Amino acid sequence: MEYNVRRYREHFREDRWRGFVVKQKESDLWIGVDKSSFRPEMPAFCDSVIIALRKEMEAYLAKDPGYAEALVPYNAGKEAPEIFRQMSAVAQKSRIGPMSAVAGAVSFHVAQALKQQFPIREAVVENGGDIYADIREEMDVAVFAGASPLSEKVGLHIPASGTPLGICTSSGTVGPSLSFGLADAVMIVCKDVLLADSYATAFANFVRTPEDIQPVLERIKNTEEILGAILIKDDKMGVVGQFELKFFNPQ
């Protein structure tokens, strides 16, 4: 139930961002901009962006259903929308299907459209636990890990200097996304939000027990594009990368 109502969105500070939710079919995005940049027409604009994006994506998938079904890297056709070509490119690195990057890809495209249309100081787009963040002040991101006792109690401190960034989380026990693992949460941070999304799914596939955390962390350490990661299974966790570990006290 916690996932269905997306209670983790309460961590986004209301005193910092003006947030709004945009929903179209499976797409459910929380979009936040700094209060000084907010304009009343932003929600309708983002809604129109998602409608157009989904229409374009659905039209292509009707012609190439194998793209949506692929569990290994799959090249988008020449007539494919840009978003699918980008997803195929990151899947070559993560070595899994391109749809593993779809949530991050939608977040990225909505954020880019918003920043092109409006002068914005800070923009954060969250889509099913996958975050695109372009910020001017530091932020803390808690990990939602379902029934784990560590859920929302640990996270990462994200300095503003390295953004925009992708901060993406995959789980084998929470949410509807396909996973071959049983991780409560695998959070991955990369410069590219699509890559972070795909890598989160890829590495979550390898976590089935707490004993899997350390060997998977070793693999993450050897992945150059990954800037930071948290892995959670039951009451155990592992952390790697350049970001400071943060502790939270959820109510």
CB 219 within 8 A of CB 185: no
Specify the pLDDT at position 1.
Answer: 30
Specify the pLDDT at position 128.
Answer: 86
Specify the pLDDT at position 250.
Answer: 59
Specify the pLDDT at position 10.
Answer: 62
Specify the pLDDT at position 91.
Answer: 97
CB 92 within 8 A of CB 73: yes
Question: 139-142 and 226-233 as β-strands: parallel, antiparallel, unpaired?
Answer: unpaired
Specify the pLDDT at position 189.
Answer: 98
CATH of 7-247, one of 3.10.20.740, 3.10.520.10, 3.40.50.2300, 2.60.40.420: 3.10.520.10
Specify the pLDDT at position 226.
Answer: 98
Residue given tokens 């020449």 in the structure block:
78
β-sheet with 154-158: strand ranges across: 139-142, 154-158, 244-247
- pLDDT, tens digit, 9 for 90 and up, residues 207-226: 999 999 999 999 999 999 99
Token pair of 182 as six digits: 């049983």
In the chain, domain spans: 7-247
Residues of the chain with pLDDT under 70: 1-13, 175-178, 250-251
Specify the pLDDT at position 251.
Answer: 54
CA distances, 65 to each of 81, 84, 180, 198 (Å) = 14, 12, 21, 19
Specify the pLDDT at position 25.
Answer: 87
User: Which among 185, 75, 89 is positioned nearest to 130, based on CA atoms?
Assistant: 185
| Total-model pTM | 0.92
Specify the pLDDT at position 6.
Answer: 45
b/e 107-137 (16+ beta carbons within 10 angstroms → b): bbbbbbbbeeeeebebbbbbbbbbbbbbbee
